[in-house]
Structure 1
Amino acid sequence: MIRYLSRSEVAAILGVKPDTLNRYNLPEPDAMIGRARGWLPETIEAWDASRPGRGNWR
């Protein structure tokens, strides 16, 4: 079974509040269910590792 991360879960992984995600240029979601977006953990991990600033120190 494939499990997608919600915005709240993405925020928790990144160590920010969910509203802060509005300032980020997140990658395209891996899934859409209605208006809800979902990301695979590896999508968020790769994006975080490659983003300028904070993401590069991990």
Structure 2
Amino acid sequence: MEKLMVTVAEVAQMLGVCRNRVYELIYSGQLASVKMGRSRRIAVDELKRFVAASTEAAA
């Protein structure tokens, strides 16, 4: 079964950036996340939306 949500560390690895950059994206409102206890999770669909929007903006 495919994951529905991923951790900040997993997003950082997928995007090829550091975890701090992912937190910057979250706190700036560019990437939506859900707080679960003391950690944050990002929906895979949200990550795909963010990548698509970033790609369109760069073009």
TM-score range, shorter chain: 0.5 to 0.7
* TM-score of the pair, normalised by structure 1: 0.63
Considering fraction of residues, name the structure with more helix.
2
Structure 1: which 5+ runs fail to align? Answer: none
1:26-58 superposed Cα distances (whole Å, 9 cap, x missing partner):
4221x321131111111111112102xxx346x
Q: Which has the higher contact order (CA 8 A, sep 6+)?
A: 2
Whether 2:36 is the aligned partner of 1:33: answer yes
**Coordinate RMSD, CA, aligned:** 2.3
| Letter of the 2:46 counterpart | T
Find the aligned partners of 1:46 and 1:8 in 2 and give their Cα distance.
18
How far residue 18 of structure 1 moved from its aligned partner, in angstroms, is: 1.1
Structure 2 residue ranges without an equivalent (≥5): none
The 3-state SS of whatever aligns with 1:5 is strand
Which 4+ stretches in 1 moved above 3 angstroms?
none
What is the aligned residue count? 53
